[in-house]
Amino acid sequence: MIDVKLGVESLTPIRPIEERIDVWNSISDNQVAFKSIDVAEDYDLLRSTLQEFAPDAVVHFAEQRAAPYSMKSPSTKRYTVDNNVRGTHNLLVALVDLGLDAHVIHLGTMGVYGYGWSGSAPIPEGYLRVKLDTPDGEIEREILHPANPGSVYHMTKTLDQLMLAYYAKNDAVRVTDLHQGIVWGTQTEQTRRDERLINRFDYDGDYGTVLNRFLMQATIGHPLTVHGSGGQTRAFIHIRDTVRCIEIAADNPPAPGERPQIFNQVTETHRVRDLAKLISDLTGAEITNLPNPRVEADENELVVTHNQFLELGLEPTTLSLGLLEEVRDIADKYAHRADQSKIIARSLWRADKAN
């Protein structure tokens, strides 16, 4: 629906969800079912569906998912907050009301931490060990990492965190929060089995992440547009690994009464200008610098702790290994579908950034 409003489309052709389900069920023994519910608006249907299905786990991705979109206008800001907060809260209320001990696996974001806040200390997995002075001497506490969101979208994920923590504490809801980096890559082992199962590849300025924008720009011969100096460091993960992470999380739920378990779902970090260089080397594309539309530091370090998933068996697909496949099998292959007018980011973080 938002696609239609923005006039954008995935570069890869996405079949209707009913068709994708049918295709999957025709090639796999692992049959899946689909039901569309607006979890923010239709609490009763959400509740009755949970009651009927009695899931062991709920993978909760039902949120407006793009930072630039959340900053487009008063209406998209309001939609992002209303939709994301209500969806998460409705799910938690329904589980508690039904007495269902389902493990909630929530999609968070690396953006809850902000960038550069903790000096040279690596970003921990959700919880930060701090010391504070008291009249009885110094004490230590482990706290939820302070929230430093850079957009209304990221802000909603910091609101989610507090709701998840509250319901874990008050009602013993079991929660895993996945602080995901920027997802790249289009195919998983599953979607590769039939072209009609292919995943989205967004490249527009509002929904596309930086890597996909670069790939598209390279493919159509547009210079790679780096915002500011490109010194912003970001964390990345291949889509195959995100799927594996969810599986690992589902296999390792926290105990009831535990605080939310938080994993950093990232496998590597890169500066934006180094990414551009990587793609430029691979494709021959030029690089150009544009003013940064975001209210953020032009340069930042980013060292992210992400041991938990590695210890639980994740074997990452790295950019250096997987990027060529992405150029060849996705960007080049579907280039004829690209809308060239959509590849420059246009959402402004603040009115005075308009110049």
Contact set with a copy of itself (CB under 8 A): 43, 47, 74, 77-78, 81-82, 85-86, 89-90, 93-94, 96-97, 99, 117-121, 128-136, 138-139, 141, 143-144, 146-147, 149, 152, 155, 158-159, 162-163, 165-166, 169-171, 295, 349-351
Q: 105 vs 165, which CB is nearer to a copy of itself?
A: 165
Task: Assess whether 269 carries a catalytic annotation.
Answer: no
Q: Which one, 28 or 73, has the nearer CB to a copy of itself?
A: 73
**3-state secondary structure (DSSP) of residue 274:** helix
The Cα 8–Cα 133 span in angstroms is 53
Closest CB to a copy of itself among residues 123, 279: 123
| Nearest distance from C-beta of residue 3 to a copy of itself, angstroms | 23
Q: Is 156 a residue of the active site?
A: no
- Write out the two tokens for 290: 């544009």
Give CA–CA dist 80/64, Å, rounded.
6
Choose between 172 and 321: whose C-beta lies nearer to a copy of itself: 172
Long-range contacts of 309-312 (CB under 8 A, 24+ apart): 309/245, 309/248, 309/263, 309/264, 309/265, 312/248, 312/251, 312/252
Strand (E) or helix (H) holding 233 = strand 233-238
The active-site residue, picked from 72, 77, 157, 342, is 157
Q: Give the helix ranges, DSSP H, for the chain.
A: 2-6, 17-27, 43-53, 67-70, 74-98, 152-171, 210-220, 239-251, 272-283, 307-311, 319-326
109 is catalytic: yes
Is 212 or 292 the residue whose CB approaches a copy of itself more closely? Answer: 292
- Cα–Cα separations (whole angstroms), residue 323 to 141, 186, 214, 302, 326: 41, 11, 12, 22, 5
Phi-psi region of 113 (alpha: psi -120 to 50; beta: other; left: phi over 0): alpha
Q: Which one from 12, 76, 109, 209 is the annotated catalytic residue?
A: 109
Q: How far is the CB of 133 from a copy of itself (least distance, A)?
A: 7
Residue tagged active-site, from 69, 79, 113, 153:
153
Cα–Cα distance measured from residue 291 to residue 52, given in angstroms and rounded to the nearest whole number: 52
Minimum distance, C-beta of residue 330 to a copy of itself, in the bound complex (Å): 34
Q: How far is the CB of 266 from a copy of itself (least distance, A)?
A: 20
Which active-site residues does the annotation give? 109, 153, 157
